[in-house]
Structures are given as C-alpha cells and as structure tokens.
Amino acid sequence: MYVQTNGGLGNAYLTQLKKEAAQNCAGVDVLLRLTRLTPLERILFAKRKLKLIPQLIRLQERVKAQLKADPNNLVHLRNWKQVRSVVNKWFGDGYVLSSEKEELARARCEMSRARVDAELWQ
C-alpha cells in the first residue's frame, strides 16, 4: 500500500524518477534478472558498474590486442581468462561486452529502474 507523505511530494518525486527512468531506458536493451538484492543494493551495484565499465572495456581491448599479436603467449591467455572472470562476475556468465557507450547506457537504465523500485519499496 502506498502512503502519501509530505503533502504529495513523495508522489511528485516518484513521477520524476519514472520520467528519468523512461529517458535513460529509451532505446536501451536491458536484461532483466531475478535477484535477491534490494533496490538500494541494486543502486549501489549499478553505481559500481558505471565506474568499472570504462576501465574494464579498455583492459579487455588491450588484452585482445596482445592476444592477437601473440596468441601463444601464456601470460596473455591468463590475462584474458582474468578479464573474462571479471566480466562474468559483474555481468553474468558468457556475457559479451559491447561498446562503452552501450554498456554505460544499460547501467544508467538499471540504476534508474532500481531508484524507482527503491522509492516504491520504502
């Protein structure tokens, strides 16, 4: 049951969050997953992803280039496995990162949806 507080300010804030989520999610494909995280935990997770994505994509591109230059180098193979391990942890097994722009858009969308859920959850 939704309880209106602060003379309707909570409802206006929720409307603003929904509008923000609609803008951030327009044209963005986001994989919806069942999760045991609370909406507040999902917000924190999305914030961490926003910081991680640019670094992870640069690292992945660098390791790919190293592997392409020397595919039999065991150090490069180990580095690739470590990159894949991080991707699997943060995005799910077998996830393939797309461009930085697309991944950041997905993370912003996830965070916006989590913010709406957090407001409804309270």
Average pLDDT over residues 90-107: 92
Token pair recorded at residue 48: 């961490």
- Give the model confidence (pLDDT) of 12-59 as tens digits: 888 898 999 999 889 888 767 767 889 899 999 999 999 999 999 999
Token pair recorded at residue 19: 């509008």
Q: Is 42 within the bounds of a domain?
A: yes
Q: Is 57 within the bounds of a domain?
A: yes
Task: Judge whether 76 and 63 are in contact, CB under 8 Å.
Answer: yes
Q: Is 17 within the bounds of a domain?
A: yes
Which of helix, strand or coil describes residue 32?
A: coil
Domain that holds residue 28: 6-121
The pLDDT-based confidence of 9 (bands split at 50, 70, 90) is: low
Q: Is 38 within the bounds of a domain?
A: yes
Range of lowest pLDDT (33-37, 95-99, 103-107): 33-37
Q: Is 96 within the bounds of a domain?
A: yes
- Cα separation, 119 vs 32, in Å, equals 19
Q: What does the angle CA 46 – CA 99 – CA 118 come to, to the nearest 5 degrees?
A: 15
Q: Is 1 within the bounds of a domain?
A: no
Q: How many separate domains does the chain show?
A: 1
Q: Is 61 within the bounds of a domain?
A: yes
Q: Is 100 within the bounds of a domain?
A: yes
pLDDT for 36: 86
pLDDT for 8: 52
| 120 half-sphere exposure, CB direction, 13 A CA radius | 12
pTM of the model: 0.80
- Give the model confidence (pLDDT) of 54-79 as tens digits: 999 999 999 999 999 999 999 999 99
